[in-house]
Amino acid sequence: MDWKLPAVIVIAIALVGAGIYVATRPARPFVPGWSGPVPEERIKIGIFGPMEFSQGIHMWRGAVMAAEVINSAGGVQLGDKKVPIELVKVDTNEILSAADARAAVERAITVNKVDFCVGGFRTESVWGMLETAMDYKKIWLICGAATTELCSETVPKNYDRYKYIFRVTPINSTYLFYVSTKLLKMVVDEVRENLGVAKPKVAVLAEKLAWADRIVDLAINPYPAFKGTPYENKSLLEAHLGVEMVGAWRPSHVATDLTSELTAIKNAGAHVIFTVFSGPVGVTFGRQWGELQIPAAAVGINVEAQKRSYWEETKGYCAYEVTMTTYVPGVEIVENLTVPWVNSYIERWGDYPTYEAGTYDAIFLIAETVNRLGTKNADNVVAELEQTGRRNIMQTFRNFPDGVGTAGKLIFDNKHDVVWGPGLVTGLGAQWRDGRLVGVHPYQDNTGPIPNLPAFGTYKGTEKYRLPPRVIEYHTKR
Amino acid sequence: MIQEILINGAATGGVFALLAVGFSLIFGVARIINLAHTAFCMLAAYSVYAFSTIYGLNFYLSVVLAILLTVFVGSCAYRLCFHPIREHELAVMVVSVALGIIIQQLMVLIFGGTFRSIPSFAAGYLELLGVRILKGHLLVLGIALFSLFLVWLMLTKTKLGIAIRATAQDREMASLVGINVGWMCMITMAMAVALAALAGTMVGPLITLSPWMWLQLLVVVLAVVILGGLGSLKGSLLAAFLLGYTETAVVHFVPMGSFLRGVASLIVMLIVLLVRPEGLFGISFEEERL
């Protein structure tokens, strides 16, 4: 008798059985910082992100640090007892598959029974994730996706369904553009001063993703409100920065080669490259921009450049690149909160916190709100969250006023989106120098450059921006 | 702009050519559909990273070890996975996809999803016709042309090459004339994997390593080999540069559409195949295949 076929069948059945057993065993609750037996009643917070990528990793780290503080303090008041925060790590795989992401949300809500959802990075997937969460009326604190429409096209359009959506970090794409204009002005002013160029040329290099579309549109397309004015046919940047936009290049967010784009940008005579990256293309840019010694200063948004490992990943070629970020070592946003927390993050994880680590503040927000109400009821929590930052009270788990977090004071507008401004959530600028990130914005920041943009002054820990030496050398020789 | 397209197109074409040479050998000549080819490229690149960055070995030693390791893994994979089913081309293809995914997930397990990079063989750039080109790209171009020449030389001028071609043409007849068919397939696979590993170590420094990079590269090598014509090494070379120039032209002429460079390449491939289904230098008759 041929024994191979029965043997294969038996092995296959055993493997399937083992798989089913492992998959259906209830996981031990993860309640970091909690001492003593774990009670049945817990506040379950799902952390939703691409956990194989840095974005999800930072989300998880920030959440763990917050949960540890809250649980060590005895937990959250729920009814007549105190209960711990339980974190549920949900790998959405959203960068690679929107379908996977939606399925992950469904499973976390129906199987893991999470009470709150925190996270969501890739807008293209987050749309579907939010819809699933709204079907179950789960509060979702966005920590990752910047697309303005995630809040502006949901909450005000159908409040009853979408009122559970709030964005904690980052500031939305429109605000990101405003901060970017401040960073651009900082660089453009240096170009004028050092190169004697009256009208610097700016090239836009932005990955082709939804969140970047609004920024690119505002940067290069004629601003509709300028019709009939002296600025007709000019973009916001051209009108208010006095620059010439030489073009926009939109590579894929996973592009592995940007030499053609960079060569074309150099050929266009650009003095500045305005970057808009969230994906791995940011690493490709940092390396090739430096290795080709492209004579244009790089400034903008590059999420990969917020990581400590970016210097190593680009083999040091990213020197003098400027990126917007939420946290920079040594830069103080909230006195006695931001710098100590960033330092403890670096000490614990060996990495700079990227903006996704703002889940730290999101977890505290949930804990404070539930603790104050004594209930997890979603509708009650929504009403309370809407008042965040507007109450004249101190937080329970952190000795800071209501709403104050590591990135600034958190206040939501009527679309449940985090508000940007002085004293509120800010957005910093940082430059890579000698293997480390140095804060360069806000540094002597005034109002503008777009009318009505507030001034941020100088934050403790920031320094003056430096133009890459090769840019000065190349353009002054010519 | 013309100089930029000429120089950058050549650089991109060189990368495509180096990636495709091993695939052209295994798929085009030996007719073994190994869709894990670019996964072996990825394995080699990650191995260089591990040896040089994690274990701190000398970079050139790391490259040699990476190639040897990849060839060993590829040979074992052939013996265990492909050899038992080599008569069934479709099954081989499906198994190779599974193998690629397994290698991908192993990379995720060992290195995680965060991006890695490996040092360049030759850092910096040169200026040709006023256009800056990375030294790494020039090196890849040179090695691609040299590898293609070596493979052509081997296939046409050596007994081994003739035996490989005979096996691909008709296994039964090859066996009847005394060629050990099993060994020929094994040797072809080992050579193809060695070329894949070489491509991985040379192209690796020019790109960002991630466990999913093999899929992007696979689309490129498939397009190159099919466009060039199955079985034609010179066709693969021409196709690599045709697609390289297409992508570069898209970036220069349609900057807002530079994310479509890959699509443009595939459209060019489609158009050529509609006009000439066997590819640029495809062989209509089996006897003429090389």
Total domains, chain A: 2
Chain A residues in contact with B48 by the CB 8 A cut-off are: none
When mean pLDDT is compared across A20-24, A232-236, A373-377, A402-406, the lowest value belongs to: A20-24
Of B1, B115, B206, the CB nearest to A267: B1
C-beta of residue A331 within 8 angstroms of C-beta of residue A307: no
A392, A409, A426: which is the final residue of a domain? A409
pLDDT per residue over A348-387, tens digit each?
Answer: 999 999 999 999 999 999 999 999 999 999 999 999 999 9
Which residues have CB under 8 Å from A444's CB, separation 6+? A457, A458, A464
Do both A319 and A463 map to the same domain?
yes
Assess whether A140 and A275 both reside in one domain: no
Q: From the CA of B122, how many Å to the nearest CA of chain A?
A: 11
Distance of CA A264 to the CA centre of its chain: 30
CA A381 to chain centroid: 24
pLDDT score of B285: 45
Q: Are residues A188 and A54 in the same domain?
A: no
SS3 string of B99-141?
A: HHHHHHHHHHHHHCCCCECCCCCCCCEEEECCEEEEHHHHHHH
Nearest CA in chain B to A315: B119
Q: B188, B71 in Cβ contact below 8 A?
A: no
HEC assignment per residue over B44-70: HHHHHHHHHHHCCCCHHHHHHHHHHHH
Q: Give the minimum alpha-carbon distance from A212 to chain B in angstroms, rounded to a whole number.
A: 13
Whether this prediction's pTM lies above 0.80 is answered by yes
| CA Rg value for chain B | 19
- How sure is the predictor about B41, in pLDDT bands with cuts at 50, 70 and 90? very high
**A437: which 2 tokens?**
């990130």
Residues of A in contact with B117 (CB under 8 A): 283, 287, 312-315
Chain A residue at shortest CA distance from B114? A53
Extract the tokens encoding B96.
């190779």
Nearest CB partner across the interface for A260, out of B116, B119, B252: B252
SS3 A53: coil
Residues A150, A183 within the same domain: no
Q: Under an 8 A CB cutoff, do B115 and A208 touch?
A: no
Nearest 5 degrees, angle CA B41-CA B208-CA A52?
A: 95
Q: Is the pLDDT of residue A2 over 80?
A: no
Interval A420-438: pLDDT, tens: 999 999 999 999 999 999 9
B216–A contact, CB cutoff 8 A = yes
Per-residue pLDDT, A1: 55
Scanning B96-115 for CB atoms below 8 A from A yields 108, 112-115
Determine which of B41, B114, B212 to mutate to test the interface with A (most A C-beta atoms within 10 Å): B114
The band of B33, judged by pLDDT with boundaries at 50, 70 and 90, is confident
Q: Does B119 reach chain A within 8 Å, measured CB to CB?
A: yes
Sign of CA dihedral A181, A184, A190, A193: negative
Does residue A116 have a pLDDT over 70? yes
Answer whether B131 touches A (CB < 8 Å): yes
Say yes or no to pLDDT of B200 above 50: yes
C-alpha A121/C-alpha A123 separation (Å) is 6
Q: What percent of chain A has pLDDT over 90?
A: 85
> What contacts 24+ positions apart, CB below 8 Å, involve A397-404?
A397/A69, A397/A70, A397/A73, A397/A364, A397/A367, A397/A368, A397/A371, A398/A69, A398/A337, A398/A364, A400/A334, A400/A337, A402/A368, A404/A334, A404/A337
The dihedral of CA A151, A154, A157, A159: what is its sign? negative
Backbone phi and psi for residue B102, each to the nearest 5 degrees, phi listed first: -60, -45
Q: Which of A55, A58, A259 to mutate to test the interface with B (most CBs of B within 10 A)?
A: A259
- Say how many CB pairs under 8 Å bridge A and B: 110
CA distance A218 to chain B (A): 15
Question: Please, which pLDDT band fits residue B283 given cuts at 50, 70 and 90?
Answer: low
Collect all residues of chain B within an 8 Å Cβ-Cβ radius of residue A249: 251, 255-256, 258
Instruction: Note whether A96 contacts B255, CB cutoff 8 Å.
Output: no
Q: What is the pLDDT of residues B100-119, one digit of tens each?
A: 999 999 999 999 888 888 98
Q: What are phi and psi of A407, to 5 degrees?
A: -100, 5
Among partner residues A263, A284, A312, which is closest to B8 by beta-carbon distance?
A263
**Closest B-chain CA to A58:** B114
Distance from CA of A287 to the nearest CA of B (A): 9
What gap in Å lies between CA A302 and CA A312, rounded to an integer? Answer: 15
* Cβ proximity of B186 and B83 under 8 Å: yes
Indicate whether A416 belongs to any domain. Answer: no
Write down the residue that tokens 């405003």 correspond to. A178
- B286, pLDDT greater than 50: no
Please tell me the total number of residues recorded for chain A in this structure. Answer: 478
Contact B115 A283 (CB under 8 A): yes
Our CA-based measurement puts residue B208 at a distance from the nearest CA of chain A, in whole angstroms, of: 6
Structure tokens at A123: 């807008």
Residue A414 lies in a domain: no
Residues A277 and A399 in one domain: no
pLDDT tens for each residue of A444-474:
998 888 888 999 999 999 999 999 999 999 9
B258·A250 Cβ contact <8 A: yes
Tokens 């209509």 sit on residue? B284
- Asked if A163 and A56 sit in the same domain, the reply is yes
Token look-up 């400590």 returns: A308
Which residues from chain A sit within 8 angstroms of residue B211, using beta carbons? 52
Task: For residues A102-130, give the mean pLDDT.
Answer: 96
Give pLDDT tens digits for B119-164.
888 889 999 888 899 999 999 999 988 988 898 898 889 999 888 8
Strands of A139-143's sheet, edge to edge?
Answer: A85-91, A43-49, A116-119, A139-143, A165-169
Q: Alpha-carbon distance A186 to A322, whole Å?
A: 11
Strand A81-83 relative to strand A76-78, pairing: antiparallel
At A137, give phi and psi (nearest 5°).
55, 45
Interchain pair B132, A250: CB under 8 A: no
Taking CB atoms and an 8 Å limit, are A280 and B208 in contact across chains? Answer: yes
State the residue for tokens 């941020």: A456
Residue A422 lies in a domain: no
Q: Is the pLDDT of residue B30 over 80?
A: no
**Residues 6 or more apart in contact with residue A237 via CB below 8 angstroms:** A181, A184, A202, A218, A219, A220, A243, A245, A274
Residues A149, A67 share a domain: yes
Write down the pLDDT at residue B287. Answer: 47
> Nearest-CA residue of chain A relative to B255?
A249
Phi/psi at B125 (5° precision): -140, 165
Q: Are residues A245 and A308 in the same domain?
A: yes
Task: Give the mean pLDDT of chain A.
Answer: 94
**How many other CB atoms are found less than 10 A from the CB of residue B226?**
21
Q: Contact at 8 Å (CB) between A367 and A85?
A: yes
- How many CB atoms lie under 10 A from the CB of residue B1? 12
Write the pLDDT tens digit of every residue in B237-269.
Answer: 899 999 999 999 999 899 888 899 889 888 988
Using an 8 Å CB-CB cutoff, list chain B residues near A292.
Answer: 125, 132, 134
Q: Which residues are within 8 A (CB) of B215 and not within 5 positions of it... i.e. 6 or more apart? A: B38, B100
- Chain A residues in contact with B212 by the CB 8 A cut-off are 96, 254
d(CA A37, nearest CA chain B) in Å: 32
B288/chain A closest Cα distance in angstroms: 37
pLDDT class of B184 with cuts at 50, 70, 90:
confident
CA B5 vs CA A283, B133, B204: distances in Å: 24, 11, 23
Q: At what angle do helices B37-49 and B59-77 cross, to 10 degrees?
A: 150
| Prediction ipTM score | 0.88
Name the DSSP letter for residue A394: B
> What span, in angstroms and rounded, lies between the C-alpha atoms of A167 and A412?
8
Residue B15 sits at the chain A interface (C-beta within 8 Å): yes
- Taking the CA of residue B111 and the nearest CA in chain A, the distance in Å comes to 10
pLDDT on residue B288: 46
- The reply to whether residue B15 touches residue A250, judged by beta carbons under 8 angstroms, is no
A254: alpha, beta or left, given left = phi > 0 and alpha = psi -120 to 50? alpha
- Is A250's CB within 8 Å of B251's CB? no
- Decide which of A31 and B27 is more confident: A31
pLDDT > 70 in chain B, percent: 97
The domain segmentation of chain B, as residue ranges, is 2-211
Read off the DSSP letter of residue A268. T
B134 touching A, CB under 8 A? yes
Q: Average pLDDT over chain B, rounded to whole?
A: 88
β-pairing, A408-409 vs A428-433, is unpaired
| Residue numbers of the domain that contains A354 | 26-170+350-409
- The CA distance from A267 to the nearest CA of chain B, in Å, is 8
Q: Please indicate whether residue B185 or residue A392 has the higher confidence score (pLDDT).
A: A392
Q: Are A249 and A203 in contact (CB under 8 A)?
A: yes
The residue-averaged pLDDT of A203-212 equals 93
- Side by side, the strands of the sheet bearing A322-325 are A244-249, A201-206, A272-277, A297-302, A322-325, A428-433, A436-441
Strands, E, within A250-375: which ranges?
272-277, 297-302, 322-325
pLDDT in tens, A174-192: 999 999 999 999 999 999 9
Residue numbers in B near A287 (CB within 8 A): 117, 208
Q: How confident is the model at residue A261 (pLDDT cuts 50, 70, 90)?
A: very high
Whole-angstrom CA distances from A38 to A31, A32, B49 are 8, 11, 43
Is pLDDT of A310 > 80? Answer: yes
The residue in chain A having the minimum alpha-carbon distance to the alpha carbon of residue B7 is: A260
Answer for the pair B178, B166: CB distance below 8 angstroms, yes or no.
no
A316 pLDDT above the threshold of 90? yes
Per-residue confidence at A4, pLDDT binned at 50, 70, 90? confident
Predicted confidence band of residue A317 (pLDDT cuts 50, 70, 90): very high
Contact B117 A287 (CB under 8 A): yes
Kindly determine whether residue B251 and residue A249, on different chains, have CB atoms separated by under 8 Å.
yes
Question: Which residues in chain B have Cβ-Cβ distances shorter than 8 Å to A50?
Answer: 113
Residue A11 lies in a domain: no
In chain A, the residue whose alpha carbon lies closest to the alpha carbon of B120 is A315
Min distance A87 CA to chain B CA atoms (Å)? 21
**Nearest CB to B255; choose among A207, A249, A304:** A249
Q: Which of B74, B93, B97, B75 is nearest to B85 (CA)?
A: B93
- HEC secondary structure over A398-457: CCCECCEECCEECCECCCCCECECCCEECCEEEEEECCEEEEEECCCECCCCCCCCCCCE
Measured between alpha carbons, how far is A204 from A248 in angstroms, rounded to an integer?
Answer: 4
Q: Tell me the chain A residues in contact with residue B258 when contact means C-beta distances shorter than 8 Å.
A: 249-252, 255, 260-261
Claim to verify: residue A182 and residue A310 sit in the same structural domain: yes
Q: A61 and A161 share a domain?
A: yes
Query: Using an 8 Å Cβ cutoff, are A266 and A296 in contact?
Result: yes
Same domain? For A179 and A310 the reply is yes
- CATH classification at residue A32: 3.40.50.2300
Residues of B in Cβ contact (< 8 Å) with A206 = none
At residue A96 the predicted structure's pLDDT band, cuts being 50, 70 and 90, is confident
Contacts of B2 (CB under 8 A, 6+ apart): none
From the list A252, A255, A280, the residue facing B210 with the nearest CB is A280
Per-residue pLDDT reduced to its tens digit, A19-35: 888 776 667 899 999 99
